[in-house]
């Protein structure tokens, strides 16, 4: 199966993504001799000037998201020969529509997201799910037309509530670009003999554990969580976690960790417990791959946290 790298450019109208793609295609460093498919999935106010492209071997295909199907993309792949895809995605459509239609062999190489800074906070307040959708997979987030009166910390906080992965760039009016250097200290001490996770910090702990599992290997952790039982699991194996709201009520999900214990407690699903455990990295069928497995040294019933739903705020 031929692997085709896909370079995704995301953002709402007037966010600057078309201009950035134009500049990328004009850049001689992007001219590698590869056949490039420029796949446009929206009708923006700025049109591409293909006469200025430094990339010579390219073809442009426009497909609206409502017409984007696996059959359509397979047809394009069959009719046009190309080695890589540059995709401009419609900001008002969630990315799953594209992911569901991706042909076999297509692989995401890079994701860049652009926001128009003067309207970003309004979009985030009124269309939070769409903003979240454009940040969660991003390798870089760029805020165009950033003003001196805008707060980097406020924009930074919104991005980091979704993901700690992307670089953040503030491009000020006039063209000055500033990289985000705000340090995000975790609200708990990973180097402590025992990592104490406060109720309000479970979501941050869970995400950081999954993103940087290796640094937690062998660590001792204490936190409060809800029990989930499954008859398919061996005796002494449970899942402990919390319901986390990443973006909005629609994406609330139970986010738990496999726990091995020797407790005689009559545990039931939805019981609240406080656990102290060692974190190991092992394969488990709950994950379907290697993941963090808690080896409990202490486990006891406890009262639910004041706010049972965990968030990143």
Q: Kindly report, residue by residue over 22-57, the tens digit of the pLDDT.
A: 999 999 999 888 899 999 998 766 789 999 999 999
Does pLDDT of 79 surpass 90? no
pLDDT given for residue 184 in this prediction: 81
Beta partners for residue 112, in sequence order: 9, 140
C-alpha closest to that of 123 among 111, 135, 112? 135
What is the spatial distance between Cα 93 and Cα 150, in angstroms, rounded to a whole number? 27
Confidence grade of residue 104 (pLDDT, cut at 50, 70, 90): confident
Lowest mean pLDDT among 8-12, 180-184, 300-304: 180-184
How far CA 9 is from CA of 29, 39, 66, 307, in Å, comes to 18, 10, 18, 37
Residue 142 CB contacts under 8 Å (≥ 6 apart), including other chains: 16, 20, 112, 113, 114, 115, 168, 169, 171
Confidence grade of residue 248 (pLDDT, cut at 50, 70, 90): low
Of the two residues 287 and 2, the one the predictor is more confident about is 287
Q: What is the pTM of this model?
A: 0.70
Q: Please tell me the number of Cα atoms within 13 Å of 100 on its side-chain side.
A: 10
CB 190 within 8 Å of CB 219: yes
C-alpha closest to that of 306 among 197, 187, 199? 199
pLDDT given for residue 192 in this prediction: 93
CB 190 within 8 Å of CB 183: no
Confidence grade of residue 244 (pLDDT, cut at 50, 70, 90): very high
Helices (H) and strands (E) in the chain, counts: 7, 15
What is the spatial distance between Cα 287 and Cα 241, in angstroms, rounded to a whole number? 14
Beta partners for residue 62, in sequence order: 40
φ, ψ of residue 120 in degrees (nearest 5): -60, -45
What is the spatial distance between Cα 245 and Cα 232, in angstroms, rounded to a whole number? 27
Q: What number is the average pLDDT over the span 212-238?
A: 95
Place of tokens 């708990």: 188
What is the spatial distance between Cα 69 and Cα 72, in angstroms, rounded to a whole number? 5
What is the spatial distance between Cα 290 and Cα 268, in angstroms, rounded to a whole number? 26
* pLDDT tens digits along 123-159: 999 999 999 999 999 999 999 999 999 999 999 999 9
Average pLDDT along the chain: 92
């Amino acid at each position: 199966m031929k692997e085709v790298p896909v370079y995704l450019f995301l953002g709402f109208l007037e966010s600057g993504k078309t201009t950035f793609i134009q500049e990328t295609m004009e850049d001689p460093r992007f001219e590698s001799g590869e056949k490039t498919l420029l796949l446009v999935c929206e009708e923006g106010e700025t049109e591409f000037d293909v006469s200025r492209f430094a990339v010579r071997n390219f073809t442009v295909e426009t497909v609206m998201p409502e017409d984007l199907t696996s059959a359509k993309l397979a047809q394009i792949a069959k009719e046009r020969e190309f080695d890589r895809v540059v995709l401009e995605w419609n900001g008002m459509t969630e990315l799953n529509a594209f992911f569901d239609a991706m042909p076999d062999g297509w692989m995401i190489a890079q994701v860049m997201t652009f926001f128009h800074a003067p309207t970003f906070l309004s979009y985030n307040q009124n269309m939070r799910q769409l903003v979240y959708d454009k940040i969660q997979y991003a390798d870089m987030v760029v805020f165009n037309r950033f003003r001196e009166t805008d707060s980097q910390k406020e924009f930074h906080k919104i991005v980091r509530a979704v993901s700690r992965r992307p670089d953040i760039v503030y491009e000020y009016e006039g063209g000055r670009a500033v990289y985000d250097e705000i340090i995000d200290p975790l609200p708990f001490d990973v180097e402590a003999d025992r990592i104490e996770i406060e109720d309000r910090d479970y979501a941050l702990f869970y995400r950081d554990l999954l993103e940087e599992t290796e640094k937690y290997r062998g660590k001792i952790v204490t936190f409060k969580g809800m029990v989930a039982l499954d008859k398919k699991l061996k005796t002494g194996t449970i899942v402990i976690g919390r319901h986390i709201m990443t973006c909005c009520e629609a994406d609330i999900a139970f986010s738990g960790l496999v726990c091995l214990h020797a407790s005689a407690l009559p545990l039931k699903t939805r019981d609240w417990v406080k656990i102290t455990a060692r974190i190991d990295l092992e394969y488990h069928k709950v994950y379907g791959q290697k993941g963090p497995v808690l080896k409990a040294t202490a486990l006891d019933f406890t009262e639910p946290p004041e706010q049972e739903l965990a968030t990143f705020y």
